């Protein structure tokens, strides 16, 4: 990426995980991370057990895990300017709606949805979310329409292949079409290049440069391509529409004001080292935190693990 880019540094960054592959209630987390259980137990409306007098852990009102991802990004600058941005929408309609209701997400204040890439486990809840948002808009006319930040190259279809054979064994659910998004109140913005949103506090990348020798994309990926009325499955190891987001967070606790780049990344189809290298080159700023999957599971990817760990541990 040519030329250094600038985004507005934020004083406070809050991330709420709306959808993730698993639900974890018991593990002790590092400082700054809060599990779902204490959030529920500290809520002013938590039901109390009349026998023991302690709060109920009401599992009917806890989040579901699902194969996919969605996170709410809240940025705040000097206590005056704040923005809510939703990054991806999980794999289906049920999970996103249940979890935003359980977490009492202020849905009408979400200004924008950023889709990291066109895969159904990231886009599958989009239409349901927009329908839910539209209902809130109808109840409160002051609520603005939700912007959809999308890569313009929406694939016709994605498929999966049997590992090692190249045989296509199934088609993934379709991503929402632009017309479907607009029909439920979404305002589509198509971006192939890097750009800033949320009051210039959140950076959305463009195409991620492939510069490492050991990161080779998604081995089993295929895409349906049509030309002259004919369709065929083509290999899609490099997910070219994939994007990451980055937020510049002012480091707290020191007199010397120093900024660090907090990089979000979702699936790392392009390779997490490629992502980090691009973020550092774009902002000339060290990476403080990485959030998201690395796509390094499976025997066919095991050779990528040592150089990835070496870079993140020793060279970042």
Q: What is the pLDDT of residue 190?
A: 98
* Mean pLDDT value of segment 45-57: 92
Question: At 133, is the secondary structure helix, strand, or coil?
Answer: helix
Q: What is the pLDDT of residues 14-36, one digit of tens each?
A: 999 999 988 877 788 888 888 88
Lowest mean pLDDT among 84-98, 235-249, 279-293: 279-293
The token pair at 39 is: 């959030």
DSSP letter at 248 equals: E
Residue 109, phi then psi, degrees to nearest 5: -95, -5
Higher-confidence residue: 1 or 307?
Answer: 307
Bigger pLDDT: 298 vs 83: 83
Cβ-based burial of 53 (10 A; exposed 0-12, middle 13-18, buried ≥19): exposed
Q: DSSP secondary-structure letter at 220?
A: T
Q: What is the pLDDT of residue 258?
A: 34
Q: Which residue has the tokens 């109808």?
A: 138
In the chain, what percentage of residues exceed pLDDT 90? 53
Instruction: Place 267 in a pLDDT band, splitting at 50, 70 and 90.
Output: low
Token output for 299: 């025997």
Q: With a cut of 80, say whether residue 212 has pLDDT above it.
A: yes
88 Cβ neighbours under 8 A, 6+ residues apart: 19, 68, 69, 70, 71, 113, 114, 115, 116, 122, 123, 266
- Reference 191, options 148, 157, 158; nearest CA is 148
| Cα–Cα distance measured from residue 226 to residue 169, given in angstroms and rounded to the nearest whole number | 19
In this prediction, residue 254 has a pLDDT band, given cuts at 50, 70 and 90, of: very low
Q: What is the mean pLDDT of the chain?
A: 87
| 246 or 295, which is more confident | 246
| Dihedral sign for Cα atoms in the order 140, 123, 154, 214 | positive
- Residue 122's pLDDT is what? 95
Query: What distance in Å separates the CA atoms of residue 184 and residue 89, rounded to the nearest whole number?
Result: 15
Quote the pLDDT of residue 266. Answer: 56
Residue 262: per-residue pLDDT: 62
285 secondary structure, DSSP code: -
What residue ranges define each of the domains in the chain, with the CATH number in brackets?
12-23+63-315 (3.60.15.10)
pLDDT grade, residue 260 (50/70/90)?
A: low
Q: What is the mean pLDDT of residues 151-157?
A: 96
Asked if 199 and 84 count as a contact pair (C-beta separation under 8 A), the reply is: no
| pLDDT tens-digit readout, 166-196 | 899 999 999 999 999 999 999 999 999 999 9
Length of the chain: 316
């Amino acid at each position: 990426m040519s030329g250094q880019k600038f985004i507005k540094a934020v004083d406070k960054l809050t991330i709420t995980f709306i959808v993730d592959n698993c639900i974890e209630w018991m593990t002790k987390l590092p400082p700054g991370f809060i599990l779902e259980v204490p959030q529920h137990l500290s809520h002013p409306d938590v039901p109390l057990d009349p026998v023991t007098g302690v709060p109920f852990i009401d599992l009917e009102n806890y989040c579901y895990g699902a194969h996919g991802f969605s996170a709410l990004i809240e940025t705040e600058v000097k206590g005056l300017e704040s923005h809510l941005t939703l990054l991806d929408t999980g794999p289906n309609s049920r999970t996103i709606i249940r979890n935003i209701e359980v977490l009492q997400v202020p849905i009408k204040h979400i200004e924008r949805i950023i889709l990291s890439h066109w895969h159904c486990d990231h886009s599958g809840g989009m239409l349901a979310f927009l329908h839910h948002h539209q209902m809130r808009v109808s109840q409160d006319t002051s609520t603005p329409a939700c912007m959809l930040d999308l890569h313009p190259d929406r694939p016709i279809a994605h498929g999966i292949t049997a590992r090692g054979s190249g045989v296509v064994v199934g088609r993934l659910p379709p991503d929402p079409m632009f017309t479907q998004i607009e029909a439920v109140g979404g305002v589509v913005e198509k971006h192939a290049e890097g750009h800033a949103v949320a009051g210039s506090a959140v950076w959305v990348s463009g195409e991620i440069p492939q510069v490492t020798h050991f990161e080779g994309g998604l081995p089993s990926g295929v895409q349906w391509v049509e030309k002259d009325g004919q369709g065929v499955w083509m290999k899609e190891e490099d997910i070219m529409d994939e994007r990451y987001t980055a937020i510049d967070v002012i480091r707290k606790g020191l007199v010397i004001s120093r900024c660090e780049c907090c990089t979000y990344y979702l699936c790392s189809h392009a390779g997490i080292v490629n992502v980090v290298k691009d973020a550092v080159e774009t902002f000339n700023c060290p990476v403080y935190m990485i959030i998201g999957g690395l796509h390094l599971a499976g025997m066919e990817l095991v050779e990528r693990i040592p150089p990835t760990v070496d870079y993140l541990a020793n060279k970042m």
